[in-house]
Structure formats: C-alpha cells, structure tokens
Structure 1
Amino acid sequence: MSITVMSWNIDFLKRQASSSHGPPRALIILNQPFSRPLFDRLWNSCAWRCCADGGANRLYDIFSDALDTRSAFLPDLIKGDFDSIRDDVRAYYIQQGVSAVQDDDQDSTDLMKCVAAIEEKEHAEGTGQHDIIILGGLTGRLDQTIHTLSYLHKLRTSRTRVFAVTDDNVGWVLDAGKHVIEIDHDLLGQTCGLLPIGIDSTILTTSGLRWNLDNHPSSFDGMVSTSNHLVPEEKEVSIATSKPIWWTVELKSSGLV
C-alpha cells in the first residue's frame, strides 16, 4: 500500500511569485503590524484579498507615506463585526467600491468570518480550494495567538493548505502522516520548531534538521522540539508525525527586502 506524502513550500513568499502562477491563493489581513516588504510579497502572490475588520486599518495605514498608491491596493472584501475598523477607513474603502460586510455573529471571530467568505466564493464559483495565507495571527495578544493555533488545527480537516505569516516566522499545521518541506534558505532563517499543540502527544521522526528525531515522543509534558535548526546543506526537511503538529520556521528579514 502506497503512503501519501504531503509536500510543502513557501513559494508565495518569493519575489517573483504572482497570483497567476501556482495554486490559487487567498490573503487574509489581520489587525496586526506587518512590514511593507512582507505585504508586497503576499499581496502579489494572491489572487483574492480580504481584510478582517481592523486589518483594513493596517492596510490603509501602510500607505501613509505613499497616498497616491493606496488606491492601487484595494481588497476584494472587508468583513468582521466592525468593532475595530476606523470610520475614516471604512468610508474610504466603500467610496473606492470595496465590499464591506458587517457580521455581528459573536460566535465566530473575524478570521473565521473571512475564511467563511472564501469558502462561499469557492462554492459559488465551483472552483477548487484556495491556499489561504493569513498575514498576522502569531504576534500580539496571547489569546489571539492561541485562537490562530487552535483554528488552523481545526481547519486541517477541511482545508488542504493554510499558512500564518508574520515578519518573524511562518507556520502551519502538519496533519498526522508524512511530510516533505522544501527549504528556501534565501527566505528562511535557521531556527524552527515542531510543536505538539492541541494533542496529548505524538511520535516524531525527522530528517534534514540539525537535531533529528527517530520515533521520539513529543508532548507538552515531555519533549518539545523548539529552537531546532535547519541545515544549510539540506534542501528539504522530512517529518513523520503520528498526530497533528505545528511546524514553524523563522523568516530571514534580509530575504524579503
């Protein structure tokens, strides 16, 4: 019986990435700070872009020194309960023809509302899944970070690829099974981690890391592989895990400039 191996890359962060190459991608901008170089890479690589409530403030403000270019970066949708978006920002984007949808459902977060919008778009158009790129979600308030970790853990059962990206790192959930991750050393720093979040424990086997694991148990009560290192000579990392885990790796700031 053949064993399925899931392959991963971060081509959406490459300078030459565009929305017309590779799988269709959707960008969700959260209400957290980000740099212009990171924003440019993600915006250009995604075909559809959505701001989660106050994420619209972040998008608007990043052009405070380049007002003439702001109108060239209009999201397809702004969605949330609108407890964070500023009045001037909301008015500007509505004037520019951007759809701003207020959803007061308090049983879903703004991130969840945006993912629901992507799924509605996919269903209406009859297309395959987008890869979802979340700009933010791993910095700032701890409770919001935990929500990102939890929500992506749950999404693994219905979405093929969902990434969370900040200026410091990129991370995603590896479901139970075998994975091969393409390593772009021009974009990635050396530090990485395999985090047993949302599970009791897992058994890990890896190759391509400085400190590899061989059928080693990992749990919050036991060993957690944090501050592991990529190896400059290795072009890929292989990971086998018996339960879902979070994979995270630092971004090289010089790789985005």
Structure 2
Amino acid sequence: MNVLRPLSCLLPDSGTKLALIILNRPLDVPLLTALWKKSAFTAVTDGAVNRLLKNCGDQKDEFIPDVISGDFDSALPASLDYYRNWNVEILPTPDQNETDFTKCLRIVCEKTGQIPLEQIVALGSFGGRFDHTLANVNTLYTARGLSKKPTILLSEGSMACLLDKGEHTIYCDTGLEDDWCGLVPVGQPANLVTTTGLKYNLNKDSMRFGELISTSNSLASPTVTVSTDQPLLWVMGYKQE
C-alpha cells in the first residue's frame, strides 16, 4: 500500500522535507517562500533563473539555489553570473532528447540520494504552452525510475502526481484542498480501477481516452483509496491565498 499526502508540502508546520525544482513559469513568491523554507535541496531550470532573480527583488539573496541546470538557451548571462558569484553549481545539460525539467530531476535525484526527502516538488508545472504541460506530465513517468519519493507538479491552484499500478491511500486532510479532483489514464488505458472517498467512485471500472475518465470529481472523504492495474494521474486543486 502506497501512502500519499500530496498537499503536505503546503503546510507550514508539517515537517515535510522537500527537494524543490523551479520551472520557467511566472513565480508565486509567497508560495515559493513557503516551499523554500521546507526544502533540503533547491534546483532551478534554465529560463527560470531569470524569473527567480527578478521576482524575488530585494530578497533575492535569500533564494540562492543549490543547482542551476539546462541547455541555457533562455537563461541570461547576467543571471547566471549573479548565482555563479554565490558559488551555485551551474550544470549545462545540452541533451535535446529530454526536457530541462527531466534533466534537472535526474540531477536532483542523484544529489539527494542520501537525504531523507518526503517529496520532490516542481513549481511552475502548468499554464502557458500546453505542450510544455504535457512534457511535465511525461516527466512523472520518467520519475518512477529515478526516485521512490513522489514527484509533485504544482502551479496556479492545481497539483498532479502519478499513482503507479497498485494500491494507494491519499490523505486529503490539510484543509488546503479545493473542491475538485480527478483520475486520468495518461499513456494507456487502465482496465481495473476501484476507488473510495470520492463523490463519484469507480468499481472495477475501465478508463481510457475516448471513453470514461474521472475528471470533475470531488472529495467525499479526507481519505481516498485507489486501486489500479495501470498508472493513473491524480489531479486536485489547492486553495490559493
């Protein structure tokens, strides 16, 4: 049985220890601040380095990452120089067969292997170009082979994580959960899905695109269980301040 409390990363006093990856989307600085305080390791991808430097303003010296990585087709030289002066490790990853997020995740998993993390959180995962959003979801599938810790996509009031095939208990008891959630079969059909704790539960149902997918669902209990024979994307909303 896999146990997940996906929004524990947003609680100020939960004790959840994170690795934080910042992607190239507009930054919610209060959310960034809350996640940064809980992070044992921080990484920034390519163009996100410009946003971090600009959006943090007078507080930029408080947000010095451990690693910056990417193919650096977006990062400004002045931004890289600023963090280089803070002795931040800057790692070029020119391979075009993977996204900057995937390559950064590989680095994070390698460098945090001995740190007792509970989650890896990617901030700035949604919005903007839809192909980038799909690429970020695809990275969740790669993440299964990189770390046993859950990788959480977080942005603009939405979160997503991948439930591998098997039994899962999802605790939705932080008080930050919004009123929507869903289960989506991305990549292949799921032929045998059973849930409890949702408004619209599944009972040994099949889900596939073109037929049933469980979007626009909602929580009926603070504890949700999911049994699935194939990976499913768990999505839910969180309340923004």
TM-score, normalising length: structure 1: 0.87
Question: Which of residues 39, 50, 53 is equivalent to 1:57?
Answer: 50
Corresponding residue to 1:142 among 103, 112, 130: 130
- In structure 2, how many angstroms separate the alpha carbons of the residues matched to 1:128 and 1:184? 23
Matches within 5 A, 1:133-212: 133-160=121-148, 161-184=150-173, 186-212=175-201
Show structure 1 runs of 5+ residues with no match: none
Q: How does 1:4-43 map to 2 (within 5 A)?
A: 5-9=1-5, 10-17=7-14, 21-22=15-16, 24-43=17-36
Cα distance in structure 2, aligned partners of 1:142 and 1:86? 24
C-alpha distance in structure 2 between counterparts of 1:129 and 1:243, whole Å: 26
1:47 is paired with a residue whose SS is strand
Distance 1:36 1:202, change over 3 A: farther
Q: CA separation in 2, counterparts of 1:58 and 1:228?
A: 34
Query: Aligned partners of 2:8, 2:24: CA distance in 1, in Å?
Result: 24
**Letter of the 2:204 counterpart:** N
Q: 241, 250, 255: which one pairs with 2:228?
A: 241
Structure 2, gaps ≥5 residues long: none
TM-score for both structures, normalised by structure 2: 0.92
Q: CA deviation at 1:103?
A: 2.2
Measure the CA separation in 2 of the matches of 1:194 and 1:148.
Answer: 17
Provide the residue aligned with 2:213 in structure 1. Answer: 224
CA RMSD between the two structures = 1.8
Corresponding residue for 1:120?
A: 110
- What amino acid maps onto 1:7 in structure 2? V
Post-superposition shift, 1:185?
Answer: 5.1
Percent identity, please. Answer: 32
Alignment CA distance shift 1:33-1:119 (3 Å): same
Match of 2:65 in 1: 75
Letter in 2 for 1:217: S
Q: 1:85 aligns with which of 65, 75, 85?
A: 75
- Say which SS state the counterpart of residue 89 (structure 1) adopts: helix
Q: CA deviation at 1:88?
A: 2.2
Q: Name the amino acid aligned to 1:216.
A: D
Is contact 1:206–1:237 with CA below 8 Å preserved after alignment? yes
Q: Distance in 2 between matches of 1:79 and 1:111?
A: 9
Contact 2:189 2:206 in 1 (8 A): no
In the alignment, is residue 47 of structure 1 matched against residue 35 of structure 2?
no
